Amino acid sequence: MKKVKTINKNVITYARPSTNAIVVNKHSKKGVELTVYPSIDGWYELRPVDFDGIMNTEFVQKADVK
């Protein structure tokens, strides 16, 4: 687990590690802090918890965060 920040505007997170997957979130600001976990090459996994306490899984490209 580590903390990273978005380096671009309009960073998109996906339901699986593919740009062809369903878009889950769009971060429209630069510098948004995300907690990520290692995943496959070129991607990080996010595990946000929604309002009901259910953990979801999202993926973000490593090129979009630093």
- What is the mean predicted confidence (pLDDT) over 40-46? 96
- pLDDT above 90 for 50: no
* One-letter amino acid of 66: K
- pLDDT, residue 38, reads 95
CB-CB neighbours of 66 under 10 Å: 10
pLDDT digits (tens, 9 = 90+) for 4-38: 999 999 999 999 999 999 999 999 999 999 999 99
How is domain 2-64 classified at the CATH fold level? SH3 type barrels. (2.30.30)
- Distance from C-alpha of 62 to C-alpha of 29, rounded to nearest angstrom: 17
- pLDDT above 90 for 53: yes
- pLDDT, residue 59, reads 98
Angle at 62 between CA 33 and CA 49, to 5 degrees: 45
Extents of the domains making up the chain: 2-64
- Distance from C-alpha of 49 to C-alpha of 62, rounded to nearest angstrom: 21
